[in-house]
A and B are shown apart, each in its own frame.
Chain A
Amino acid sequence: MADYGIKISKEGTDVKEAITDANAKNFQLISSVGCLVKKEESTSDSETYMWWGAVLDGTTARSANFYPQVWGSLVQKFIIFANRFDE
């Protein structure tokens, strides 16, 4: 692992600690590992980028777990992350 970068630890954790699977959760930010980063909002999901979606039915936003035909013409909204599935 490179000896440069940015690490921000949680309170109570020495930021100089070497990062391991066991202690990574004790850091707010580690520049040497990827983080989920919002890229854009969209009306369609993606095969390339990770995403989260919802169906807007006027009063609620429901998880976009169902085939679009089930929801007819209701608006589907997706948050597309900058993280790719194939990385």
Chain B
Amino acid sequence: MSNIGLKISKPGVDVKTATDNNLIFSSQYPALKIQSQGTGTQAFDEAGGFLTLETHALGYRPFFIVWAKFPDFFSNLFILPARIPIVDANIQCYATASSTTLTLAVDVLPDFPEDPYEVDFDIEYKYVIFFDPIE
């Protein structure tokens, strides 16, 4: 590693000797740089499904975070992946990133698969895609 760069330490810590956990910023490590972000709402039913949240042109799989709210069942926001318990089923919700898209995936897993099961619900999602690749 080169011995040039920029470091900012926490107050009271000598920046010349500070360990990594006492640094507020170090150019040795990449910052998580935001490429895009968005919000939206989508209706789903017992069939689950997929929703393309964003198409990007990065050409690699980027790091991302997706949050989701299930207002028909709970009032709080979940960070994905999440398994949401509802009456007689669980909603399994996660996101996948490819070199071109960020996709929301939803599976509804009934407690009694042999019985007909119907449910309609909305998912309110929020997401952020970073320039920083996963691979």
Contacts and interface: CB of A to CB of B under 8 A. Distances in A.
A21 B58 contact: yes
Contacts, number: 89
Contacts of A63: 79
A65 B37 contact: no
B30 interface: yes
B77 A35 contact: no
Interface in B2-44: 2, 5-6, 25, 27-35, 37, 39
> Which range contains the number of A residues in contact with the other chain?
20 to 34
Interface in B89-122: none
Interface of B: 2, 5-6, 25, 27-35, 37, 39, 56-60, 65, 67, 74, 76-85, 126, 128, 130-133
